[in-house]
Chain A
């Protein structure tokens, strides 16, 4: 996987990199964060996009206004988001399930509202901030390929960290939390600590993802990009990709980001075949909503482990076939 990812810019056109790959990886990171808190630890969060927004704005202000170097700015984005995440996570101390969901929903609205209320730059009233050209240690990161590698490096590092985390004792504690709150605490898992940790990690990831959006993708932080429907989309990503799966977060992100294109292409083809004119665009967009919802339901009902399970199923199928292949070639041990 990693080899493919590194080689990608040499194979794919610029359009694919800028418009598809980079956002997939960035949202994959954010989805991974959400997966940690919702998929592993079982705590529903509806505010992932708002945390991304916090990261994005902190990073762009740090770099644009105060000249904080980019890597630090990215870290700062994650940290700010994480701090707020801990505050939001406090209610989960005593309650579970739907109450927590409403708490995160409330934070989604409040954070976005707050970000729009505070005056940003000296010239007053714009709530979108542009970033100056991205420079790290003298290197200019303005080509899509350069941005891609920047994003890839950051995401790869964090994914590795996350992967280890969920396999560690902490990860197991989270899963224990998800299954049985009280049983876990009886066994000595301190709920408070682990719940907060889950929130902290997930919001940190979201914050970093947000700063990557600014530095590696759109070049601006704009509040309208982080509304509730984006939080819902990220939720969809982990459901479809696979709850509790690192790979699933990325598969889900890729899928959801490609979905509009797939639907558009499919419906245009169908329309062309059946002799109709081009499908009206608002029908396409609403069809997307329908398909999105249907897919969520499908995966929830039929394949709760999501695309990740399908992927591994595919991988082991390939394994078996090549294994047989080797054997029949003769000389296999």
Chain B
């Protein structure tokens, strides 16, 4: 009887210990002279490949900055929280580091939507490069959300502009047929209003082929696009593993590969790579330069990887996803730097957000940072949180991408009008007044 009693007590003690210890294990420690930067990451699930590249790019950039003395003497310390691209986990990650966020970057459109209310209340900026809500370019309606670069509407208009360029002028688009094959969700449907207006403006016809996730089965759609609809151009707006599928299907139906233009979220080597030589000559969009031929990337290679502190396989440096990460890192660090200068330590979400609004990455500053040609000029303000940017287009030769176009701008008037309209609708739907 006594022995059983002791065992039971021990078990209870063990359970109690674990129960008590568990929450403490996950909380972060903060040191003086350090900036804790929690990062939401996706390392599992169907969207992991691109995401890991983006994460590595950021971390390498932070390492580079730290090596040079940090941001005005403060070391950037990051901690990862894996959320598997799933909204409930994203929320849990957010709560775990509540109060410690400097800037939230989940790299996930659904997460941004779900987090919108919380970040607004907690006064932390949530960004989603080339994604999220297109209307969050409006900094007044969305004081704590930002698309940063090339929101979806800008991307859509820019892609059509590029097609116009291929045809020899926007007026040549008249009477043409453009097939739009996309994921059937917020991401894939955002371009709709833009396509509608552009079609009206330039006289072309477009049609949507919506695929529900995972969108791996595209054969019927492509038979339709190529053999019945006989599209002049096909624009793809896919993500994850569905990106590689069109290449096999296009070959099977005999559609010309160079008439298929993928969106920038299908524009990483991992997306096109699995299709290998089949995808040769395909074109995808991008919002930044590719390759290693930029001073900052070279610097990372020289300093960070030489010291063995790299966060990715060395072969990944200079890849599309990686470069995106570096760009994100540059922007976040710049925001923190501005925040520190203007409002002083310790940093919090609001200060970093204010620092973000002070970002002025013009030619001179980009040159200082070694990022000329890698990213477009970015100037933000209280009203403008970014998003009205051009795209670059790149071609796949079987092993790598090469940029083949100049910066193709979006239709600014059209996009701005839509932003205003949508922001207004949002204010009405959530009955929130435009904040500071």
Chain B 97-116 interface 0/1 with A at a Cβ cutoff of 8 Å (1 = within): 01000000000001001101
Q: Is the CB of B431 within 8 A of A224?
A: no
The answer on a CB contact under 8 Å between B185 and A225 is no
A64-B429, A125-B193 known; 18 new pairs, CB 8 Å cut-off, are A15-B98, A18-B95, A64-B430, A113-B212, A123-B425, A125-B186, A130-B429, A218-B87, A220-B87, A220-B113, A220-B117, A223-B185, A225-B87, A265-B26, A281-B80, A282-B82, A284-B82, A285-B84
Q: Indicate whether B421 reaches chain A with its CB closer than 8 angstroms.
A: yes
Contact A126 B425 (CB under 8 A): no
A174 to B86, CA, bound (A): 35
Q: Are B185 and A127 in contact (CB under 8 A)?
A: yes
Contact-size category for A: 35 or more
Partner of A116, one of B48, B212, B432: B212
Cβ contact within 8 Å between A218 and B91: yes
Residue in contact with B186 in the complex, picked from A128, A132, A225, CB distance below 8 Å: A128
Q: B26 contacts A130, CB within 8 Å?
A: no
B44 / chain A contacts, CB cutoff of 8 Å: 281-282, 285-286
Please give, as numbers and ranges, the residues of chain B lying within 8 Å of A122 by CB-CB distance.
425
Contacting A at CB under 8 A, from B60-97, are 80, 82, 84, 86-89, 91-92, 95-96
Question: Which chain A residues border B110 with CB–CB below 8 Å?
Answer: 128, 222, 224
- Smallest CB gap from B418: residue in A: A123
Can you pick out 23 interface pairs between chain A and chain B where the beta carbons lie within 8 Å of each other?
A14-B95, A15-B96, A113-B212, A116-B184, A126-B113, A127-B185, A128-B110, A131-B430, A219-B114, A222-B113, A224-B87, A224-B110, A224-B185, A225-B88, A258-B22, A264-B26, A281-B41, A281-B43, A281-B44, A281-B80, A282-B48, A282-B82, A286-B44
What's the Cα separation between A14 and B189 when bound, in Å?
36
B165 adjacent to chain A (CB < 8 Å) = no
A261 touches B429 (CB 8 A): no
Query: Does B22 contact A262, Cβ atoms closer than 8 Å?
Result: yes
Give 1 or 0 for each of A211-231: 1 = CB within 8 Å of chain B CB.
000000111101111000000
Is A316 in contact with chain B by the CB < 8 A criterion? Answer: no
A123 to B113, CA, bound (A): 15
Question: Which of B87, B96, B430 contacts A132, CB < 8 Å?
Answer: B430
Cβ–Cβ contact B186 & A124, under 8 A:
no
With A15-B96, A281-B43 as known contacts, state yes or no: A220 contacts B426, CB within 8 Å: no
> Within the assembled complex, what's the spacing in Å between the Cα atoms of A285 and B80?
13
Are the C-beta atoms of B86 and A224 separated by less than 8 Å?
A: yes
Contacts of A220 in B (CB 8 A): 87, 113-114, 116-117
Closest to B23 in A: A16
In the bound complex, residues from chain B placing their C-beta under 8 Å from that of A13 are 23
Residues of B within 8 A of A280 (CB): 43
In the complex, chain A residues 1-28 whose Cβ is within 8 Å of any chain B Cβ: 13-16, 18-19, 23
Most chain A CB within a 10 A radius of its CB, from B48, B89, B95, B190: B95
Find out whether the CB atom of A23 lies under 8 angstroms from the CB atom of B88: yes
Q: Name the residue on A nearest B92 (C-beta).
A: A19
User: Which residues on A sit within 8 Å (CB–CB) of B204?
Assistant: none
- Most central of A16, A23, A64, A132 by chain B CB within 10 Å: A132
Q: Name the distance in Å between B134's Cβ and chain A's nearest Cβ.
A: 10
User: Are the C-beta atoms of A123 and B421 separated by less than 8 Å?
Assistant: yes
B8 within 8 A of A: yes
Is B350 in contact with chain A by the CB < 8 A criterion?
no
A218 touches B114 (CB 8 A): yes
Are A282 and B22 within 8 A (Cβ)? no
Q: Known: A15-B95, A15-B96. Contact between A282 and B43, CB under 8 A?
A: yes
In the bound complex, do residue A133 and residue B431 qualify as a contact, i.e. CB atoms below 8 Å apart? yes
Decide if A317 is an interface residue (CB 8 Å cutoff): yes
Known: A116-B212, A224-B86, A281-B80. A124 touches B23 (CB 8 A): no
Q: Which of B8, B80, B116, B189 contacts A125 (CB 8 A)?
A: B189
In the complex the two chains form, is B86's CB within 8 Å of A265's CB? no
B114's contact among A23, A121, A222, A262, by CB below 8 Å, is which?
A: A222
